[in-house]
Amino acid sequence: MKVSALLTSAGINIGLCILLWFLYSILRKQPGNVCVYFGRRLAQGHIGFENPICFERLFPSTSWIMKAWATSEEEILAVGGLDAVVFLRILVFSIRIFSIAAVICLLLVLPLNYFGQEMIHKQIPSESLDVFTIANVKEGSRWLWAHCLALYIISFSACLLLYFEYRSIAKLRLTHITKSSPNPSHFTILVRSIPWSAEESYSDSVKKFFMNYHASSYLSHQMVYRSGTIQKLMDDAEKMYKKLAELKNTAANQMCEPSLVRCGLCGEMTNSFKLLTNEAESVHDKEKPVLDQLKSDLKEKESAAAFVFFKTRYAAIVASHVLQSSNPMLWVTDLAPGPHDVYWSNLWTPYRQLWIRKIATLVAATVFMFLFLIPVTFVQGLSQLDQLQQMLPFLKGLLKKKFVDEVVTGYLPSVILMLFLLSVPPMMMLFSAIEGNISRSGRKRSACCKVLYFTIWNVFFVNVLSGSAISQIIAISSPKDIPTQLAKVVPRQFLNVYVTKYESGGQFWPIAHNTTIFSLVLSQIIAIGVFGLKRSPIASGFTFPLVIFTLLFNEYCRQRFQPIFKSYSAQDLIEMDRQDEASGRMEEIYKLLLSAYCQFSTASTAIFKTQDSVRSDGSHDSEDVKSGLSYPTLCSLLYQEFDK
Amino acid sequence: MKVSALLTSAGINIGLCILLWFLYSILRKQPGNVCVYFGRRLAQGHIGFENPICFERLFPSTSWIMKAWATSEEEILAVGGLDAVVFLRILVFSIRIFSIAAVICLLLVLPLNYFGQEMIHKQIPSESLDVFTIANVKEGSRWLWAHCLALYIISFSACLLLYFEYRSIAKLRLTHITKSSPNPSHFTILVRSIPWSAEESYSDSVKKFFMNYHASSYLSHQMVYRSGTIQKLMDDAEKMYKKLAELKNTAANQMCEPSLVRCGLCGEMTNSFKLLTNEAESVHDKEKPVLDQLKSDLKEKESAAAFVFFKTRYAAIVASHVLQSSNPMLWVTDLAPGPHDVYWSNLWTPYRQLWIRKIATLVAATVFMFLFLIPVTFVQGLSQLDQLQQMLPFLKGLLKKKFVDEVVTGYLPSVILMLFLLSVPPMMMLFSAIEGNISRSGRKRSACCKVLYFTIWNVFFVNVLSGSAISQIIAISSPKDIPTQLAKVVPRQFLNVYVTKYESGGQFWPIAHNTTIFSLVLSQIIAIGVFGLKRSPIASGFTFPLVIFTLLFNEYCRQRFQPIFKSYSAQDLIEMDRQDEASGRMEEIYKLLLSAYCQFSTASTAIFKTQDSVRSDGSHDSEDVKSGLSYPTLCSLLYQEFDK
């Protein structure tokens, strides 16, 4: 590949960027696109529909760039959450380290490579790229120490930047945990693999177990129901509601005290709330067969998983950390994901299957990784000029033109690879879903790692190592674009467009950190090999300590910061609990908890809308109460029956 | 190597065994050796010194074998603890699986190998060993399916045996935990990396932290002191005691109420016990400078580690599992090892050093593994006949004799390897000590694993792979002697001789399990290779599922049983706590706790003996109390001062 081909490729990319920039700049000003570009603000009601017809709309402007640039981290944190900040930090970190590498390579490494051998240089545009690589340096050259020095500078600055980023993101995460509004997931654990017993329902088992072993801290629980069958159940309930409503129009009027509104099917209180008066119970007796039917239906649909709510955050974390039963495959506890982060369809996966699923997806992903090579190498082979000419002779004339040649050799292979790579993330997301992750963020993190391994394998090992290693290492920093790859994978779900549904609290950072370390060590090892080939044992020898230093640095960060991203500390949680208790907010939080995890939010919301108007603050319209049994009350009724 | 050489080697080994057997049988009957062979029973006072002079003493007998054979598992469990049972189980398991392998290989594989090619056989003793290996089977032979079948039978029976062993040992472990007498380590955690503060001592920090965050369950704590300097401190205390004793002969007489005797330096109660009356405090005032001196001495010697005692087992396990501080390098908690299992000198190792120490020992052990090859290959090379003859020409005549030839080629290499291997366990124990393990059993487990890796590397990869792989695989089951290797490494800690000082509760079993699985998979992979070389793709193909099955089986066991060996379950601990609370034994356990972990047991016992006679039940002789300040009381005094 010649320099001019590289420049053509770069030129096309830059041109495309500017074009997209222009398009975005114009399109965002069109009123019709407001719901596309300002979805989030729209949802929050921060934007009005002004529609002035002016020419300014048709020209690109740069003010939004300034605005985006001027947005402070606090603003992003407030608007997009910690994940958005971490995502930006990853980008900024990548830009910083690339700038450092670029400066050093352009000023120090590139001239050395260019004048590495005594030779007559052509004009730079028609010069082969090889002249700028380390391949052009003489064997045993003394100038190789400069490459070694460049590697040292890049590695040290990367480690330094990583350390400060890790420290500050860890601090942000701690603040995020302690200072944010009460998070239901802090009070909740997910119990899976509840043992089945013929005598009692899963719900009863959960209640009995936690009342027995965690009596002082157990608040209530909520079963997870097997889906699919659920819709049918909801329909049944709806029908029955209509029947009951007709029958007990007046009776229900007196007996309802809807102090707590919940979706009904979800959640159960330990101290069953007495909504019923004695008369109501007598009404019950008449309808017992119908209720019994629904009761047994409900019992059948229970899966062996439940959310268990605790009175304090500390109690929840304790229950999630300690092995509950002497059979480790029973009563498996984990801290629950955030309510919007729950990946419901995986919750009723039998826990016993999970380890097999994990192994199976690992195998499948590996097989996919290898199979992926077949089409890529086939299509990439096509982009070789002579082969193309052989297969499609009519292109011969076209391919002889210089510009087309440059596009085909310089740009096409990477475009083909990128297009194929586009199929990878959805595939890995599928694998991660099958794997059994209980949260959306967990699923995405897992997919993210899989895509990373895939990229490393494909881009570096296959593409780089299949060609001759040296000729491909244009600058030492080439593997460092992994963080950028990562940045592409990380959901973009933040300032104007997306409403952040869930928040992983910056848990993507350790992945970025590890990937950067991997890239550093990989480039250092490649450098050792290259120095060896260039017969410079001193440069090789000097690079060894750098590898060791980098690995030790990584280990230190793993010890010092990683646990913060994996768990919460007792100290923090206890302090938070105390503050909430002191301020009397706990009761409020408990109420919030009972309605936080709603498995059938869509279905029940639909029913709410058609049959019952519930105010957003959860209280009923008084007219509805008068008009008959409301849907949530029906479910509460059922629950009480069920609870007996 | 010929069959006769193998038989000679086996003959020598069997002969040595019988000789040692005879020797043991006779020596154990000599009264002078009672303290060697019956040390444990002697210590327990179960044996008397009878000294009848009779001829029976001079002849070997077999009754002890019968006795050893007849000992039931319950008896061993009662006498030697769970570790002894697990050790025996490992041996029995090895014998079982070897028997199965031997039967199958002798009846099925060996004849097939022997008649694997059409050839004229010599007499069996002068036949080369190669004739009995798979190397003798024709390429593409149909009989290779028999080898495959043998592998299937051996693998399945090994997995089946492993499963039943794992299940029953897990059950034993659970019984051991729940049914044994109260164990101080269940109530105790070890806190390391206590943050240093200029204002308060480590002890004060611990008290403040646990009183703040674990107020309801915190019982008391006990600092760990830096050693070396300790002896000096003890001497100082001794001197001071003498001075004080002279001064306050009568005053002390009235003020002492020795309700609890502890070693003094160790342990501190939350509700400082008031030993002093008002008069005593006035005496104190006079001696304040001296006490202040010792107080500051004591504060200086504190390390950043402490044992913290809790009121319930559950509270202890919770505190040990949950991240305590938002800085994961501070307030690091672990469940404490048993009192006799504590490896004191590692407790005051700064926690921040540990990860570096771990990496350093890992590197050192790896380097040792490679360096070890040099002397072994050198000396093993010597045992090659022709080389020996070249180097030591005067041996030529001797080496030509058939028997000597057989000994040198069949027996010497393995003896040399064994002798060199003897140096490995002490070396690995040293590495494991440097690594920073906090318990003796943990140190031994770590050394055990290191020795295993070492053995696998040396015996299999270097010895087997450096020769031609096929010629060395005498039977497929060769790598299966790893469990026996393991059994050799596991301390022999049990029926008559050793007093079991600590009990890991069968934690050696998972190591044995993993090693067996490793050996199985290794032999299966080697078999795949051999089948491939023998051009039997069907046999190769059929072995693949076996590898996958074995790995899946291992993963299942890891999921199902391993957590039991790593932690205790909340259910069990809470039940145990409840039983003890119901039976009113808790107070007793608390008293036990305060004296359980004594860092200076030897030193303080010595002082106890010379200066103070303390009854075994912990109360003082009344005369001693009258004669002056007792040593423990002095320390309690100090503590009270210190506690203010």
Q: How many angstroms away from the CA of B371 is the closest CA of chain A?
A: 20
- In this prediction, residue B233 carries a pLDDT of 63
Residues of A in contact with B356 (CB under 8 A): 552
Sheet holding A188-192, edge to edge: A268-269, A218-225, A302-310, A188-192, A332-335
Q: Which residues pair with A21 in a beta bridge?
A: none
Q: What are the structure tokens assigned to B109, written together?
A: 């594989």
- In this prediction, residue A465 carries a pLDDT of 52
Residues of A in contact with B552 (CB under 8 A): 356, 359
Test A567 with B324 for CB contact under 8 angstroms.
no
Task: Classify residue A362: in a domain, yes or no.
Answer: no
Q: Can you say whether the dihedral through the CA atoms of A544, A550, A553, A559 is positive or negative? A: negative
Task: Classify residue A145: in a domain, yes or no.
Answer: no
Test A559 with B317 for CB contact under 8 angstroms.
no
| Residue B644: other Cβ atoms inside 10 A | 7
Task: Classify residue A328: in a domain, yes or no.
Answer: yes
| Residue B616: other Cβ atoms inside 10 A | 5
Cα separation, B510 vs A104, whole angstroms: 52
Test B570 with A356 for CB contact under 8 angstroms.
no
Average pLDDT over residues A565-589: 86
Interface test with A, best of B569, B572, B574, B575 (most A CBs within 10 A): B569
Task: Classify residue B134: in a domain, yes or no.
Answer: no
- Least CB–CB distance from B323: residue in A325, A329, A563: A563
Residues of B in contact with A331 (CB under 8 A): 571
Cα separation, A444 vs A426, whole angstroms: 10
Instruction: Say if A559 is an interface residue toward chain B (CB within 8 Å).
Output: yes
Instruction: Say if A323 is an interface residue toward chain B (CB within 8 Å).
Output: yes
| pLDDT top residue among A384 and B26 | B26
Q: Find, in chain B, the residue whose alpha carbon is nearest to that of A326.
A: B569
Range from A229-233, A560-564, B601-605 that averages highest in pLDDT: A560-564
With a CB cutoff of 8 Å and minimum separation 6, the contacts of A335 are A185, A186, A188, A189, A190, A316, A317, A320
DSSP B439: B
Test A564 with B326 for CB contact under 8 angstroms.
yes
Cα separation, A320 vs A332, whole angstroms: 8
DSSP states along B369-398: HHHTHHHHHHHHHHTSHHHHHHH-GGGHHH
Cα separation, B305 vs B333, whole angstroms: 10
| pLDDT top residue among B3 and A41 | B3
Contact A559, B198 (CB under 8 A): no
Instruction: Say if B552 is an interface residue toward chain A (CB within 8 Å).
Output: yes
Residues of A in contact with B355 (CB under 8 A): 555-556, 559
Task: Classify residue A143: in a domain, yes or no.
Answer: no
Q: Find, in chain B, the residue whose alpha carbon is nearest to that of A330.
A: B560
Backbone φ and ψ for B128, nearest 5 degrees, come out as -75, 150
Q: What are the structure tokens assigned to A72, written together?
A: 């402070």
Average pLDDT over residues A6-29: 82
Residues of A in contact with B323 (CB under 8 A): 563, 567-570
The amino acid present at A81, given as its one-letter code, is: G
- In this prediction, residue A565 carries a pLDDT of 87
- In this prediction, residue A45 carries a pLDDT of 55
Whose structure tokens read 């909504």?
A: A275
User: Quick one: which H or E segment has residue B188?
Assistant: strand B188-192
One domain for residues A325 and A202: yes
Q: For residue A246, is pLDDT > 80? A: no
- In this prediction, residue B546 carries a pLDDT of 92
- In this prediction, residue B468 carries a pLDDT of 37
| pLDDT top residue among B393 and A27 | A27
Contact B194, B206 (CB under 8 A): yes
Residues of A in contact with B567 (CB under 8 A): 322-323
Q: Which domain holds residue A42?
A: 1-70
Give the 3-state secondary structure percentages of chain B, helix then strand then coil, rounded to 5.
70, 5, 25
Give the SS3 label for residue B153. Answer: helix
Q: For residue A70, is pLDDT > 80? A: no
Give the SS3 label for residue B222. Answer: strand
The amino acid present at B634, given as its one-letter code, is: L
Q: Find, in chain B, the residue whose alpha carbon is nearest to that of A363.
A: B548
| Final residue of a structural domain among A16, A35, A70 | A70
User: Quick one: which H or E segment has residue A446?
Assistant: helix A440-455
Distances (CA, A) of A513 to A76, A247, A504, A553, B113: 21, 64, 16, 11, 56
Q: How many angstroms away from the CA of B24 is the closest CA of chain A?
A: 43
Number of H helices, E strands in chain B: 32, 5
Cα separation, A140 vs B362, whole angstroms: 34
Task: Classify residue A580: in a domain, yes or no.
Answer: yes
DSSP A621: P
- In this prediction, residue A7 carries a pLDDT of 80
- Least CB–CB distance from A322: residue in B559, B564, B570: B570
Test B359 with A555 for CB contact under 8 angstroms.
yes
Test B322 with A570 for CB contact under 8 angstroms.
yes
Cα separation, B266 vs B308, whole angstroms: 12
Domain count along chain A: 2
Instruction: Say if B568 is an interface residue toward chain A (CB within 8 Å).
Output: yes
User: Quick one: which H or E segment has residue A189?
Assistant: strand A188-192
Instruction: Say if A245 is an interface residue toward chain B (CB within 8 Å).
Output: no
Residues of A in contact with B572 (CB under 8 A): 326
The amino acid present at B88, given as its one-letter code, is: L
The amino acid present at B455, given as its one-letter code, is: T
Give the SS3 label for residue B618. Answer: coil
Cα separation, A611 vs A242, whole angstroms: 10
Test A570 with B317 for CB contact under 8 angstroms.
no
Would you tell me which residues 87-106 of chain A have a C-beta closer than 8 angstroms to some C-beta of chain B?
none
User: Quick one: which H or E segment has residue B306?
Assistant: strand B302-310
Q: How many angstroms away from the CA of A574 is the closest CA of chain B?
A: 7
Cα separation, B285 vs B287, whole angstroms: 5
Instruction: Say if B565 is an interface residue toward chain A (CB within 8 Å).
Output: no
- In this prediction, residue A451 carries a pLDDT of 85
Residues of A in contact with B308 (CB under 8 A): none
| Final residue of a structural domain among A70, A99, A117 | A70
Test B326 with A572 for CB contact under 8 angstroms.
yes
- In this prediction, residue B476 carries a pLDDT of 38
Instruction: Say if A175 is an interface residue toward chain B (CB within 8 Å).
Output: no
Task: Classify residue A466: in a domain, yes or no.
Answer: no
* CA B310 to chain CA centroid, nearest Å: 27
Distances (CA, A) of B81 to B38, B47, B76, B499: 17, 20, 7, 10
Residues of B in contact with A567 (CB under 8 A): 322-323
Chain A, chain B: beta-carbon pairs less than 8 Å apart: 90
Task: Classify residue B265: in a domain, yes or no.
Answer: yes
Interface test with B, best of A214, A322, A548 (most B CBs within 10 A): A322
Q: What are the structure tokens assigned to A504, written together?
A: 């992983």
pLDDT bucket at A156, cuts 50 / 70 / 90:
very high
- Least CB–CB distance from B569: residue in A323, A556, A571: A323
- In this prediction, residue B617 carries a pLDDT of 37
Instruction: Say if B353 is an interface residue toward chain A (CB within 8 Å).
Output: no
Give the SS3 label for residue A516. Answer: helix
- In this prediction, residue A471 carries a pLDDT of 37
- Least CB–CB distance from A571: residue in B326, B356, B552: B326
Interface test with B, best of A354, A554, A557, A571 (most B CBs within 10 A): A571
Give the SS3 label for residue B122. Answer: coil
Instruction: Say if B562 is an interface residue toward chain A (CB within 8 Å).
Output: yes
Average pLDDT over residues A68-79: 78
ipTM metric: 0.74
Interface test with A, best of B326, B552, B574 (most A CBs within 10 A): B326
Cα separation, B348 vs B329, whole angstroms: 15
Instruction: Say if B356 is an interface residue toward chain A (CB within 8 Å).
Output: yes
The parts of chain B modelled with pLDDT lower than 70 are 1, 32-58, 60, 125-126, 227-236, 238, 247-288, 290-291, 294-295, 298, 378-392, 395-400, 402, 406-411, 413-414, 459-502, 600-644
| pLDDT top residue among B73 and A159 | A159
Cα separation, A458 vs A371, whole angstroms: 11
Percentage of chain A beyond pLDDT 90 is: 10
- In this prediction, residue B256 carries a pLDDT of 39
Q: What are the structure tokens assigned to B106, written together?
A: 């002798």
Would you tell me which residues 208-237 of chain A have a C-beta closer than 8 angstroms to some C-beta of chain B?
213
Instruction: Say if A67 is an interface residue toward chain B (CB within 8 Å).
Output: no
Alpha-carbon Rg for chain A in angstroms: 31
Residues of A in contact with B556 (CB under 8 A): 355
Q: What are the structure tokens assigned to B345, written together?
A: 């000198």
Distances (CA, A) of B259 to B250, B256, B275, B617, B634: 19, 9, 8, 12, 14
Cα separation, B575 vs B595, whole angstroms: 25
Q: What are the structure tokens assigned to A186, written together?
A: 């802090």
Distances (CA, A) of A114 to A106, A143, A198, A422, A536: 11, 12, 79, 36, 19
Test A213 with B561 for CB contact under 8 angstroms.
no
Distances (CA, A) of B120 to B29, B110, B126, B127: 55, 17, 13, 11
Whose structure tokens read 């923090």?
A: A572
User: Helices A3-27 and A402-410 sit at what angle, rounded to 10 degrees?
Assistant: 80
Give the 3-state secondary structure percentages of chain A, helix then strand then coil, rounded to 5.
70, 5, 25
- Least CB–CB distance from A324: residue in B324, B355, B571: B571
Backbone φ and ψ for B119, nearest 5 degrees, come out as -155, 160
Q: Can you say whether the dihedral through the CA atoms of B140, B145, B150, B154 is positive or negative? A: positive
- In this prediction, residue A493 carries a pLDDT of 67
User: Quick one: which H or E segment has residue A451?
Assistant: helix A440-455
- In this prediction, residue B4 carries a pLDDT of 78
Question: How much is the pTM?
Answer: 0.74
Whose structure tokens read 């938070």?
A: A576
The amino acid present at A417, given as its one-letter code, is: L
Test B329 with A559 for CB contact under 8 angstroms.
yes
- Least CB–CB distance from B572: residue in A174, A326, A567: A326
Whose structure tokens read 């996958």?
A: B548
- In this prediction, residue A271 carries a pLDDT of 39
* Mean pLDDT over each residue of chain A, to the nearest integer: 73
Average pLDDT over residues A301-309: 88
Residues of B in contact with A213 (CB under 8 A): 570-571, 574
Cα separation, B522 vs B158, whole angstroms: 14
Reported in sequence order, the residue ranges of B212-269 that DSSP labels E, i.e. its strands, are: 218-225, 268-269
